Structure 1
Amino acid sequence: MATQHRPQQPHPVLARAEALVGAGHTEEAILLIRQLAAKGDRDGLFVLARNLWSGGILGSDPVAARVQFELAGKAGHPAARVLATNLLANGIAGSRDWLTALARMPGEVAIDPRRRIQLELLGKMALTPTGEPERCREPERLAESPDVLRFPAFATAAECSYLLDVGGKNYRPAQINDGRGGTRLDPIRNSDEFTIHWLIEDPVVHAINRRIAAVAGIPADHGEAIQLLRYRTGQQYRAHYDFNPQLENQRVATALIYLNHDYKGGETSFVKTPLKFKARKGDLLLFRNTLDDGAVDPMSEHCGMPVLSGTKYIASRWIRAKRYVP
């Protein structure tokens, strides 16, 4: 008879803490979680890390969260171990040690089978010992004003497939901040999106991010987390600027990796120019949103034209003027 695996029950202390939160006794819940973590309990450490990272019932403290993820991983929490390795590889909220992160990955295949695929992809990348690309594709200039470059075959077919797999069933309708601490549907785009946030930015995604940084000539830690975007038939992104006047640390450039080309329509159009770009799978489009003085480039207004048939997938990364990562 096959063994039936039952879902793991939460630690009684954590179950009690959750009940306390539901009853409004947050401070008591926090005390219980911290006491359990202080005993070295892997689940207590993980819950503490998760709340410190997200803000949850605690104030957001990514640096402290990273320490707790590492401790939880060492205590035997499988998910924490994988997340701690991701953070070690990308250097978010602490130091970066690419080689140590890579050395840890084979031991995590049993925890997360995607580690095997990641190791295979990394093995095919020409990387320096610090994870930088050894060489980059030469660009093709598409326009001077706005400043638009195309890097053909920037990502391999296997890398595109991997990013598509990361998106999987995680897409949700595109949203924006509502100004009141919540979100609402984006009024100028009806596409779907999924953010590869810092915790799940695995070494493959991070290596791609560093490749983007290399061709952009801007440090990797200036980039926001990659967003995967999905445009189904009829969906579009109406004319807009990626420049945001409300940002102190401005989005000076945008990088788009086109993950497929088996769709009709969906061109990226710079609406004040004749330039309409239809990419091939793996192409990177890189354009600047600002002028030399930091002001918005009025010619950078662009749109994602409606998809006429099929589904369009892209990976988008906004690049800031200064360091952005925590």
Structure 2
Amino acid sequence: MEADAATHLAVNIAPSPTERANALLASGAIAEAVGLMSDAAGRDDPEALYTLGLWHVFGQPVRRDFSRARFFFGRAGQAGHAQGALTFAVFVAMGAGGPADWRAALALIETAAPTTPAAARQVELLAAMNLDANGVPQSLPATEPLSTSPKVGIVRALFTPDECAHVIGLSRGAMRPSIVADPRTGRELPHPIRTSDGTVMGPIQQDLVVHALNHRIASVSGSRVRQGEPLSVLRYAPGQQYRLHHDCLPGETNQRELTLIAYLNDAYEGGATSFPAADIAFRGEVGDAILFVNSLPSGRVDERSRHAGLPVSSGEKWVCTRWIRTRDFDPWGAYPV
């Protein structure tokens, strides 16, 4: 009886294939770790399938391959891995690693909704959007001109309060202090211009709601959704700011042509977005957005587009930013050529 109990306990506490693979990676046994996970995936182990998907996205310890990642996320979802199913839906919606199919992605989260609260919430928010069969908005608020030089416009209520709260909720646990790498040493240092916390909502971090919002940003800015960088979410505490800067990148041929900043809350003081050259200081209500052009028709930087996020004096300011390139932008090789 005691021997049976001991055997039962040993079975219960045995490390999972993923835990064993992580230990092998830590010891430098990469080939053994990959082999272990591949064997476990062959037995439809949900966590192994999901982890292999992540490995193929991040390019460690295997080669980055979004097609393989999509395959493993799909298999993980079929094996009962809830997050795997949701991530697979995002890949299908985006067209990451394969064809884009909004209706198929929506069907995936509708199937998951009865047992997965995160899927149910996505279904609820998406049902309130006026979207076509490809997830593109069928109506948009007007853009109000605020300045002609630099070219700046305001889009009132681009996002709903529920959508803003959803983006904050997805981002809150992933916020990190803004940093830059020292070009001489490679060491991470506090960002000299931006003192906020932030996160980037890439293919793993986002969901179908964020993808639909990216489509809305593309539509209101007159761009394609794939021209946009991943949505960046920023949080400013009292005293934090984004000092005067422009959004163009030095030496970049696929330039940040446009910027859209959406205001996700209003429970703060200070924190206006300032354009000194136009004598503008704008502070949006929840869901409002400001859209501006960063470059001249020649492609050169419009120096008058320099702007700042003024210091927050009280409360927390939450915004999200989408930098829109001149051409499609695919930093991870997510989309099939």
Task: Provide the TM-score with structure 2 as the length reference.
Answer: 0.88
Letter of the aligned partner of 2:284 in structure 1? Answer: A
Does structure 2 retain, via aligned residues, the 8 Å contact 1:148–1:286? yes
Alignment coverage as a number of residue pairs:
319
Residues in 1 aligned to 2:38 and 2:62: alpha-carbon distance in whole angstroms:
11
Cα 1:91–1:310 change in 2 (3 A) is same
Q: What is the match of residue 316 of structure 1?
A: 321
1:245-284 superposed matches below 5 A: 245-284=250-289
Residues in 2 aligned to 1:13 and 1:267: alpha-carbon distance in whole angstroms:
50
Letter of the aligned partner of 1:207 in structure 2? Answer: A
Deviates more, 1:164-173 or 1:280-289: 164-173
Cα 1:225–1:112 change in 2 (3 A) is farther
Q: What is the match of residue 134 of structure 2?
A: 130
Q: What is the match of residue 205 of structure 1?
A: 210
Cα 1:167–1:42 change in 2 (3 A) is closer
Q: Does residue 78 of structure 2 align to residue 74 of structure 1?
A: yes
Gaps of 5+ in 2: 1-11
Q: What is the match of residue 159 of structure 2?
A: 155
Q: Does residue 293 of structure 2 align to residue 288 of structure 1?
A: yes
Q: What is the match of residue 194 of structure 2?
A: 189
Q: What is the match of residue 49 of structure 1?
A: 53
Residues in 2 aligned to 1:264 and 1:18: alpha-carbon distance in whole angstroms:
46
Does structure 2 retain, via aligned residues, the 8 Å contact 1:79–1:111? no
For the residue of structure 2 that corresponds to 1:166, the secondary structure is helix
Deviations 1:92-126 (A, max 9, x none): 23211111111121222355312222211111111
Residues in 2 aligned to 1:151 and 1:14: alpha-carbon distance in whole angstroms:
46
Q: What is the match of residue 87 of structure 2?
A: 83
Deviations 1:4-62 (A, max 9, x none): xxxx9676443332222222221222222223324443332222111111122122222
Q: How far off is 1:176 after superposition?
A: 2.9
Residues in 2 aligned to 1:215 and 1:61: alpha-carbon distance in whole angstroms:
32
Q: What is the match of residue 7 of structure 2?
A: none
Q: Does residue 230 of structure 2 align to residue 225 of structure 1?
A: yes
1:91-102 superposed matches below 5 A: 91-102=95-106
Cα 1:129–1:9 change in 2 (3 A) is farther
Residues in 1 aligned to 2:57 and 2:203: alpha-carbon distance in whole angstroms:
10
Residues in 1 aligned to 2:308 and 2:99: alpha-carbon distance in whole angstroms:
38
Deviates more, 1:28-37 or 1:270-279: 28-37
For the residue of structure 1 that corresponds to 2:274, the secondary structure is strand
Deviates more, 1:187-196 or 1:32-41: 32-41
Q: What is the match of residue 3 of structure 1?
A: none
Gaps of 5+ in 1: 1-7
Does structure 1 retain, via aligned residues, the 8 Å contact 2:86–2:119? no
Does structure 2 retain, via aligned residues, the 8 Å contact 1:255–1:284? yes
Cα 1:48–1:317 change in 2 (3 A) is same
Q: What is the match of residue 214 of structure 1?
A: 219
Q: What is the match of residue 117 of structure 1?
A: 121
Does structure 2 retain, via aligned residues, the 8 Å contact 1:228–1:314? yes
Cα 1:321–1:16 change in 2 (3 A) is same
Q: What is the match of residue 62 of structure 1?
A: 66
Cα 1:175–1:146 change in 2 (3 A) is same
Taking only the aligned residue pairs, the percentage that are identical comes to: 36
Cα 1:36–1:169 change in 2 (3 A) is closer
Residues in 2 aligned to 1:122 and 1:25: alpha-carbon distance in whole angstroms:
44
